Amino acid sequence: MKTPIRVVLFDLGNTLIYDKEPWENLYLRADKALWNSLHSYGVKLTQSELYGKYKTLFQLYYRLRENDLDEPGIGTVLRDLLNRNNIHLSDEELHSALHSMYRITQANWFAENDAIPMLETLKSRGFRLGIISNGADDQNTYTLIDKAQIRSYFEYIISSAAFGKRKPHPGIFNAALEHFQVPAEQTAMVGDTFEADIIGAQQVGMNSIWITRRVQKTVRRSQIRPDAIVSTLSEIPALLSA
């Protein structure tokens, strides 16, 4: 790091937590749970009538957000689809249906074994901690954080669903800087996704730490280089102390 670090920001998925099973079948199961709930509220449509050529709400949602960094939230998209078909659910009904869907996918996320020991060490050394997570549903983000039993370590948590923009949009990083009121050069962003976490952090002047333990895709060529590369979370306290 170029200067002493006071604030450490973390990505969530495949940084502090990881997934075990392939997602395709889980998305199908999750969508089935969603529709069981929707049918119980009187929705008569079929999935194909609502999604068109897409098999699940997840698949449709990810396709809709491919071309920009807007994050409308999966609940907003579902409500808009239903409203276009003259189906109007209450907020409680919509949230219940989404909860049924996310209950399936949440079971596939697990805390990294070295997450809590690393967070304990950083807190004991006086670092201030936050999470910046790209997530289609804000409540789901908090549920995953609570499932991993790590919420108490963080004074600041922001999801793209709550903010309205996804990493690497500079706004979501600047929102964190505004909260902590520290210069960008005294912060470090830890994440596994090169474009979202590394490029996103560096474009606002933050330091970046690329964690490669769960990285599977080849990273496109870039002139940007992370300030540090680690393969485990347990390496971070020593790195920041150095």
**pLDDT tens, 147-156?**
999 999 999 9
DSSP state of 8: E
Give the number of C-alpha atoms closer than 13 A to the C-alpha of residue 145, restricted to the C-beta side. 24
* Cβ 172 vs Cβ 197: under 8 Å: no
Residues 6+ apart with CB under 8 A from 37: 96, 97, 100, 101
Strand locations in 160-216, DSSP E? 187-191, 207-211
Query: What fold characterizes domain 7-19+110-241?
Result: Rossmann fold (3.40.50)
Region 154-180: what's the mean pLDDT?
A: 98
Q: How far apart are CA 17 and CA 219, in angstroms?
A: 21
Q: Is the pLDDT confidence value at 53 over 90?
A: yes
**Reported confidence tier of residue 1, pLDDT bands at 50, 70, 90:** confident
Whether the CB-CB separation of 93 and 39 falls below 8 Å is answered with: no
The pLDDT of residue 221: 62
Neighbouring residues of 113: CB distance < 8 A, sequence distance ≥ 6? none
Tell me the pLDDT tens digit for each residue of 80-120.
999 999 999 999 999 999 999 999 999 999 999 999 999 99
Instruction: Tell me the residue ranges of DSSP E strands in the chain.
Output: 7-10, 17-19, 109-111, 128-133, 156-159, 187-191, 207-211, 228-230
Write down the residue that tokens 């949602």 correspond to.
61
Is pLDDT at 136 greater than 90 in this prediction? Answer: yes
pLDDT bin (cut points 50, 70, 90) of residue 211 is very high
Indicate the average pLDDT of the chain. Answer: 96
Residue pair 113/45 in contact by the 8 Å Cβ criterion: no
> Is residue 52 within 8 Å of 79, Cβ to Cβ?
no
Confidence band (pLDDT; 50, 70, 90) for 168?
very high
CB atoms within 10 A of CB 143: 16
Question: How far is residue 18 CA from its own chain's centroid?
Answer: 11
3-class SS of residue 53 = coil
